Each structure stands twice: as structure tokens, then as C-alpha cells.
Amino acid sequence: MADQTTFLVALFLLLAAAVLLGELSARLGQAALVGQLAVGIVLGPTLLGPYLGLSSASPELQGIQFLATFFILVSAGLEVRPEQIWETGAPAAVLGLVVFVGPFLAGALLVPLLYPALAYTTSLFVALTLSITALPVMGIMLNQFGLSRSRLGVLLLNTAVINELAAVTAFAVLLRVVGGGGWLALAESVLSVALFLASILSVHMFLRLLRSSRRWQGLRRSFRRTWKSKEAGFAVLMVMALGSALYSQFLGLTFLVGAFYAGLLVTPESAGPAEHRSLSLVFDAMTWGFFVPLFFAFVGLGMNLWGIASSPAAGFAFVALVAFAILSKILLGYGTSRALGWAKRPAEAIGFLVSSRGAVELAMAVILLQDGIFTPQLYTVVAAAGLITTVIAPLGAARYGGLSGARGPASVRAAGFGHPLEPASIPEADGGTGAGPEAPGTS
């Protein structure tokens, strides 16, 4: 009974504090994850953990953390449609690949210099986790700025989609390689990823074809009349997600890959618009109302900032890594956007917005810590870098185009980015409000 009480008290403290601090963070113009991460830092080993008995997560809390990681990855996958990948167009595809591959390759050179004692594969994982643009955080920021359906917003959302797909696939390959085996392990991992992706896309296309048949429509109506269980659609989604995760594990890939790509199986095209919306509402309520606040609180709970401050060398390496994480994304985002024809001010905003981090790379860091690839100090470095870049991204973007505090069409039009429901009017480099080129931002 005492253990159950301790577990419930710990869960109550984490969830209540994460919800409250997340709301406060959102009201201050930041992503809620900033406040939720701060909860874990305050209640963890950095500050109050030794006095509250929360210096490390109990086995029960670790089980909740695993479920939270799983739900967040499925939720991130639900934001992606295979059709959207084809619809992104060259500008979003180029921008998404550049702002992932560029920082990843540069980080692969920099991280070994800052942490020479690390195994090179571990350095690659650090570089990978710092190269991801967060799709959920990007969507939140664009909604806050009223830009979700502007040309700029569409470009950035599609950019984040391409970025996350590339990162999750690269993560799966690296996890297979880390066990050793050289080129053979690399070839096996690439083949495993290719087989997994081919299987997922085949199932997706089968579901689309099935839905378009008349017989399927009759079967679906019969299912609705005869199936008595509540929220059966949600149960089917969970079965598909768990099956996809198990399949990826069977192929030697992490469950992260299966959970993320499982979302691609449930789209408006395969499940139907009404069914997809119903499933998304149920899943989002559970994920964002319970698992997301807990997940980020758990991430903060695993951080110990005293490790970063343990020596001048550790502090310098951390500062250099954070500066690299910020500048590599900003400079590549800005430079690529300018090369694609965007004017100076929106290109600067793009540079800051693509530097945001979020859930997927933190989920990767959690898995790497649990697998013993990351040490607690390295995990803290990656998580803290993600926290700082997520804070800086909206603050930096708000400097360009008057984005801060945008809540409605009038403020967005005044910022020069156009009505959120209409094609955006892109400011010129001199600060005017002339329309930008036609091609950029379309998809």
C-alpha cells in the first residue's frame, strides 16, 4: 500500500505541476513543453529530487514513461500523410533535407572534437538528435502566430515532415549499426528499413483501395451496426500501432520507428475523413491531456544540470554544442530559403522556426539513455540543448514580421504575412509588404 501511495503521489505531483507550468509557458508565448520540462528539472536531481525522493524514476514511473513515449510517437506519425510527402513540392523537400543533413554532417565532425572520449557512433546519435526540426512544436508555433494556412506555414509544416521522416529513418539505421558488423550491418539495416517502409506503404495503399470499393462501404456500415464495444476505432488504431512497433522490433529496428510510421496507416484517405477526425480527437485528448505533460516532465526528471557544470570543459562543450544547434539551423534555414526565392524577413523567420526541437528527438534521447548508449550527462546535454533551442525559436521568429502576439487575421495582415486562410503576402527585404515570388511556399 505504501508503494502504491508513493507512486500515486509522484504521478500527481508530476502531472499537476506539468499541466500548470505548461499552461503558464503557453500564456507567455512559449511551447508548453518548456514549462513541462522545467517541472522535471525542478523536481528532479538538479533541485528538489533528493528531498522528494524523485531523483530517479521508479519502475512504475518508467512504465508510464515508456507508454508516454509510444503515444507521442504515434501522435507525431498521425500528423503525417503519405500523400503529403508527395505534395510537399521541391522547395519544402529541399529545405527539409538541407536543415537535417547539413547539421547532421557538421555535428558528426564537431561532436567528436567536443567530446573526444565518446564512441563515434554515439557522436553520430548526438548529432542526429540535434538535427531534427520538431513537427508538433512547429505546428503549435504556427497556430499561435496565425500562420498555419499561409504559404509560409505550409512550407514550414512540410519541411518539418520531411525532416522528421529523414531523422527517424536515419535513427533506425544507426541503431542497427551500433551493434557492430561494419558494412554488413549497414547493408542489413538499410534493407530492414526499406522492407519496413515498403510494408507500411503497401498496407496504406491496400487500405485506400479497400475504402474506395463499394463492398467495403457495406462492410463498414455493417461493422457500425453490429460492433458493440465503445471506441472500437481507437482500439483498432492501437492494435495497428502496437503491431507496427512489434514488426519494427522483429526487423531489428527500434519500436520508435514502428510507432512513428504506424500513424501513416491512419489517414483521411485510408480511414475516411470523419473516422480519421474522430480517432484523432480521442487520441489527441489522451496524448496531449495526459501523456505529453508527463513525458516532458519525465525528460526533465532525468536531467541533472550539475553534470554540465561539473567542470569548465563540460560547460564549454555544452555552450559550444548549443550554439552549434542554434546557428546551424538558423543559417542553413535562412540561406536555403533565400536561395529558394524568399525575401529577407520571412527567410530570417524560417531560419529561427526550423531551429525548434520537440518530442521526437527527446524520445530518441530517452531510448538511447535506457539502452546505455547515452550517459546521464550526455542525455542532459541533449535535452537541455533541445529546451534552449525551443525557447529561442519563437522568440527569434517573432522579431521578424511582428509575429509576437498574433492572435487573429488583423494582426497577421499587419505583420505582412497575409490572412491565415489566404495565400500569404511575403514582405520584401526592405521591410515593405509587396508580394513575394509565386513559387516559394507552395506545395
Show the 3-state SS of 130-184: CCCCCHHHHHHHHHHHCCCCCHHHHHHHHHHHHHHHHHHHHHHHHHHHCCCCHHH
Report, as an integer, the average pLDDT of 251-278. 74
In a domain, 432, yes or no: no
In a domain, 122, yes or no: yes
What predicted TM-score, i.e. pTM, was given to this entire model? 0.73
208-254 pLDDT tens trace: 777 777 666 666 666 666 665 666 667 777 888 888 888 888 887 77
Return the higher-pLDDT residue of 151 and 322.
Answer: 322
Answer for the pair 140, 31: CB distance below 8 angstroms, yes or no: yes
pLDDT for 320 equals: 92
> Which band of pLDDT confidence, cut at 50, 70 and 90, is reported for residue 138?
confident
CA 380 to chain centre: 18
Contacts 24+ apart (CB under 8 A), 174-180: 174/121, 174/124, 174/125, 174/128, 175/253, 175/254, 176/252, 176/253, 177/121, 178/121, 178/125, 178/373
- Report if residue 379 sits inside a domain: yes
Does residue 78 form part of some domain? yes
Percent of the chain at pLDDT exceeding 90:
11
The pLDDT tens digits for 394-405 are: 777 776 544 433
What is the C-alpha to C-alpha distance for residues 26 and 30, in angstroms, rounded to an integer? Answer: 5
Q: Mean pLDDT for the chain?
A: 76
Domain count, the chain: 1
Does residue 421 lie in a domain region? no
Q: Cα torsion for 402, 408, 411, 415, to the nearest 10°? A: 50
Which residues constitute the domain of residue 129?
Answer: 2-220+229-414
The listed range with the strongest mean pLDDT (12-26, 155-169, 260-274, 429-443) is 12-26
Say how far apart CA 93 and CA 229 lie, in whole Å: 42
Mean pLDDT of 359-377: 85
CATH for 334: 1.20.1530.20
Q: Which amino acid is at 334?
A: Y
Residue 388 lies in a domain: yes
For 143-183, how does the pLDDT look when each residue is reduced to its tens digit (9 = 90+)?
667 676 677 777 888 888 888 888 888 888 888 777 665 66
215 part of a folded domain: yes
Nearest CA to 129 among 369, 295, 343, 339?
369
The answer to the question of residue 434 being in a domain is no
